[in-house]
Amino acid sequence: MSTLALKGPYWVAARQYRRTLWLVGAAVAASLAVIGVLRIWEAQDRASGSFPYENRLGYDMLRGAMEQLSHGMIALPLLVGAFVAGPLIARELESGTYKLSLTQSISPTAWLRSKLATATAVAVGATLALIAVYRLGWTRVSDSWGFHWADLGPYEATGVVLVGYVLFAVAVGALVGQLIHRTVVAMAVTGGIVGLAMLALGAFRWDFLSVETITGPAGENASVVFAPDNGMLVDQGLIGVSGRRLPGWFCSPDSPPGAACRPDEPIAAQYVDYHPQAHFWPTQLIESGILLALAALAIYAAFRVLRTRHP
């Protein structure tokens, strides 16, 4: 971000944290360079005609880099929230340096608004850039284990929900920084809150939409029913003659020794519950909406706290 186009407290905020801005830009540029080079290498391996059995070093390197990038994308909201709560807000309140800004005919509301607006613009811009970089590499490894569209990492990094988590992290950081005037403690508390939100929504996100179900016959000449290609398997089992769902598999002549068959109860059919890939964007939008609502509440509370303490 260029500080030349900014004025007043916004220029001060960008100038004050210019090293962080440069670091963010360098991280995005480095990610693009690494993933771009590895994707070109992987494409050359495919063009050699022996892929995937030989000469797949480029693919393996790309996959390893994408695994690390997945971890980084998941940690991004934690880092953003910790920075806003600690260095951006709590440190100035702890040291008292915010008072200098307030002597420059700037209201407390304008002081906080300028910091949050600058942090939000940089965080959202960097997040969108990293999502684009991630998708650049993900399209080459999406058919491999751990990179399914519903897996932890690809789900967050290929849609819009990561932006929602970043905005939520900024809002929580603003509130916690106002309440806790200790830099390290505010960073830890914010990271904990954002992490808990990610765990909670991650545990319930696939309950937002109803699963789709496929049933099939269960008998000696029947084949096992599977979820369609690219579907996310939720549950699989048998249906008894009473209509009750049962765990396990039906017995067939080619069942392996020790298979979990159900000879103890007559079986009428088998079933598979799954989420189709078409549920990806609706789930993303529902989860993002929840995060934006929580972020709005946190921002409102942050400014209320500010007005109470600095009328």
Pick the range with the lowest mean pLDDT from 1-5, 57-61, 121-125, 177-181.
1-5
For residue 144, the tally of other CB atoms under 10 A from its CB is 12
Q: Within 13 Å, how many C-alpha atoms sit on residue 250's CB side?
A: 24
Does residue 240 carry a pLDDT above 80? yes
Q: Is 251 helix (H, G, I), strand (E, B) or coil?
A: coil
Does residue 114 carry a pLDDT above 80? yes
pLDDT of 243-287, one tens digit each?
A: 888 876 655 555 555 555 655 667 788 899 999 999 999 999 999
For residue 283, the tally of other CB atoms under 10 A from its CB is 19
Name 48's Cβ contacts closer than 8 Å, sequence gap at least 6.
55
Best CA proximity match to 1, nearest among 11, 110, 115 = 11
Report residue 202's pLDDT band, with 50, 70 and 90 as the boundaries: very high
Helices (H), 142-237: 154-157, 161-179, 183-204
Helices (H), the chain: 8-16, 18-47, 57-83, 91-95, 98-102, 108-141, 154-157, 161-179, 183-204, 280-309
Helix or strand run (H / E) with residue 89? none
CA 33 → CA 25, 55, 122, 136, distances in Å?
A: 12, 22, 20, 11
Across 172-189, average pLDDT: 94
- How confident is the model at residue 3, as a pLDDT? 47
Pick the range with the lowest mean pLDDT from 31-40, 127-136, 221-230, 277-286.
221-230
Across 167-190, average pLDDT: 95
Across 298-303, average pLDDT: 95
Q: Is 261 helix (H, G, I), strand (E, B) or coil?
A: strand
pLDDT of 13-35, one tens digit each?
A: 777 788 989 999 999 999 999 99
